[in-house]
Chains A and B, each alone.
Chain A
């Protein structure tokens, strides 16, 4: 008996929830910055859902959502409204969540990701605004298990970004998340940190025979706390569903939770028990008219976004796509590079040369130290103009490349200017023929073997002699000058 395994296509759609960077909560004046606050200290009757209180829309939250939507090339309809999503859970103070149902703030956008097969657009179905829930901490104590409720998070503005089922592999899902996080951070709308819980992701995944245009039965996967766990959970799901289908079994439409410690997903709720959220328009909030002026103002306020910036870095600085992509990974990194280049005041080819060198330092030694010591670009002690100065000193022949590495390491540790460090350590390059002649002569006198090799035609011996001079000068000698001098003396001698 032979079995022919079907070739499946993976279909993934993602729902991302991101907390917005507003000062106050979505519908009350409580501070939305609660991460360091003791439990239940950022609360008021409104976010506690007490009787008779009413919500008031946080205008800034609406603006940040529209900015996000614009960054994702969404349409912004003129009419929008809030709805109530009704369900009982102890993290929900009112017994309903104020969210958006049929008239979200935006719809129909996209995000470009860079896959192995090239650029691909992932559709963004909608970006809408809602409120976060309280945080539950489950405790298993000697007297049984119970849950503690921290209401600080209740009512924090939460944006939901729903993608189309356009991703075709767990890796693409990861790329989408990385890119989305980058855009949110660029736009300055969210910290977008998955580990800290202000950026959360649920995934819908299904399989279908390759070539089919209809969608298979989808499974919703929750509880993933990092990009890596999203990818792992999806890979697990793809395998699980493949196994089921190959074995002639049906995939059940359900919600499954990712259990990180066990590396698998487990069933949480099947469709028969799916919630009926009984959405209806929130009567406490009048519908919103999103005026076009506001939209243009917000569009104008959007900073340059990653794709645009990357293209500009390639063109303006003559960088490769790969280099440019690495530099624009975060706005701060890109800004650092630009500040270092701009400080030089150079024009034309000199500027391109400088930009390239700054990029080399940033993507080389600096990135190495950052990774090793887990230092964000914002916390790097070397100021951009100081890095520019270091590059300029190498270009101008004031120090050797070899000295520069040592200077860079001290700059990294101490945050001082390269000029100071070079002066202090006496690292200024020795290029003067007169200064070097004595040292070169002493080295030749002390290196009979190498001199003999040279005379026997082994020209590599010169390299050894250059190295000896560099050693004597602690790397400060100009290697070109040393070489010229060596050859002159050896040939004449």
Chain B
């Protein structure tokens, strides 16, 4: 075999395991060796669960020997540290959950395990998924494998970088305003945010409950489709998950786009967009036409401009409430110096949360306060409804919309940390999709100055199959998928 084991794809590895050409222990060991080799430079993991991975791999081999393999048996994956894993420390990238070991599994992790996946470790992230560069991790920043001086994007930076660096074959992350798609774009791999309600949020540490959704990362669209099939589905423990059958997404993949109506919303080609990004995205649009798609460049989503404002009211509002439970009394970090209960709670929160988290708690608390609620929260909800309606109208004339994922390629570490607004603009193309609860995928569509550029494909609610079909056809035609940097 010419390629090292740690560069195998998910479906590919699963087939080799099935044919017993490789066993799960060898594969896990190879990935763990790679982790040892590159992790000091990439820092994709907050926690590496080497022993657990080898144990799970041994179980996978036993299952394979009994011909009881599942869809992911023996496949090493990275799990974003925002998903609870029983017995394994789960921090959400925050000091305040330092040492928190949940006694329960997130639904998504349970699904991965049920299909035999092997967990390599917990992926680094911006604290509580608030950020677009993974620099807000309370532990350390993750670096972009394409250029170690640049950010991998965020908040699921660890989940994205780990795969490109060969430290996992696939991963799961969470996406509240772009936290899967944007790092996928910046790291040059496939990242999919499913429809709100497609994947259970049970055990996903909440940032903004009405926007959060768990989704997969992988080097190829087919691998992402496999991952989605595993984690999607109704969960009675999440009342916002929807009871709809999960299709075989892989079976829906195809090479051409004949008859597909593709819209290119003009508002997504924003000011400040890098020419290299524009070029790569437009090349992919042109390619779609060649593949048989009917490209509609007149689609307009006029409220796109307001999406960022809406997001920075709704998400912090929900976050201010979701993060109220971290007071140092029940679990996680607790500041204790003999002060009063209230003093110690304040100190715990003051020391346990990072600046960005505090900024958003303050924003949200303000937006929900008496006298401001109508002007902010309620108004934002109204605009949210309008944004949703505009998408609905667009989907009457189009089957999918395509747009850039991020207006820029990966930016240098430290370049935006002191400018929150510039950081927020990283997600200007991804946020509207969360606001409307739609499925969106980012796939690599080219390079600009040697750094990956992502193309975003947005679909109708619960039409991940079409989104993946378009992504797959373009991936095949563009020929940029699967490229990895030399590390």
Contact = CB atoms under 8 A, between A and B. Distances in A.
Contact of B204 (A48, A52, A57, A279): A52
B303 interface: no
Contacts of B208: 283
Interface in A140-169: 147, 149
B202 interface: yes
Contact of A50 (B82, B83, B102, B201): B102
Interface string B198-226: 00011111101110000000000000000
B321 A53 contact: no
Contacts of B83: 52
Interface residues of B, number: 45
A357 interface: no
B100 A280 contact: no
A97 to B, nearest CB: 11
Contacts of B202: 52-54
Nearest to B346: A88
Nearest to B324: A95
A49 B326 CA distance: 10
A95 B325 contact: yes
A84 B102 contact: no
Contact of A90 (B210, B321, B329): B329
A278 B320 CA distance: 10
Contact of A52 (B84, B318, B327, B368): B84
Interface of A is mostly: loop
Interface in B68-121: 82-84, 90, 92, 97, 100, 102-104, 106
Contact of B239 (A49, A57, A90, A94): A57
Contacts of B317: 280
Contacts of B238: 54
Interface string A36-55: 00000000010011111111
A88 B327 contact: yes
A280 B368 contact: yes
Contacts of B318: 280, 283
B370 interface: yes
B206 A52 contact: yes
Max chain A Cβ within 10 angstroms of own Cβ: one of B92, B237, B341 = B237
A51 B240 contact: no
B201 A86 contact: no
B261 to A, nearest CB: 31
Given A51-B84, A88-B327, A278 B365 contact: yes
A52 B203 CA distance: 4
A245 interface: no
B325 A278 contact: no
B330 interface: yes
A90 B317 CA distance: 22
A96 interface: yes
B336 interface: no
Interface of B is mostly: loop
A434 interface: no
Contacts of A414: none
B331 interface: yes
B480 interface: no
B369 A51 contact: no
Contact of A284 (B100, B205, B209, B345): B209
Nearest to B330: A48
Contact of B368 (A51, A54, A278): A278
A84 B320 CA distance: 11
Interface string A77-109: 000000010101010011110000000000000
Nearest to B235: A54
A90 B369 contact: no
Given A45-B103, A278-B369, A283-B210, A51 B90 contact: yes
Interface in A274-318: 276, 278-280, 283-286
B236 interface: yes
A406 interface: no
B377 interface: yes
B180 to A, nearest CB: 17
A15 to B, nearest CB: 20
B330 A54 contact: no
Nearest to A44: B104
Contacts of A286: 239-240
A56 interface: yes
A284 B317 CA distance: 14
Contacts of A149: 329
Contacts of B236: 56
Contacts of B320: 86, 278
A134 B413 CA distance: 45
A48 B102 CA distance: 12
B102 A88 contact: no
A89 to B, nearest CB: 10
Contacts of B206: 51-52, 284
Interface string B461-487: 000000000000000000000000000
Contact of A51 (B102, B210, B327, B365): B102
17 contacts: A49-B325, A49-B330, A50-B330, A51-B90, A51-B97, A51-B100, A51-B331, A52-B84, A54-B239, A56-B239, A57-B239, A90-B341, A278-B369, A279-B368, A280-B368, A280-B373, A283-B208
Given A52-B106, A56-B239, 15 more contacts: A50-B102, A50-B104, A51-B90, A51-B102, A52-B83, A54-B239, A86-B321, A88-B345, A94-B325, A95-B321, A95-B324, A280-B317, A280-B373, A280-B377, A283-B209
Interface of B: 82-84, 90, 92, 97, 100, 102-104, 106, 201-206, 208-210, 236-240, 317-318, 320-321, 323-327, 329-331, 341, 345, 365, 368-370, 373, 377
What are the 10 closest A-B residue pairs judged by CB atoms, nearest first? Answer: A95-B324, A278-B368, A283-B209, A283-B210, A52-B205, A51-B205, A52-B203, A276-B370, A95-B325, A94-B325
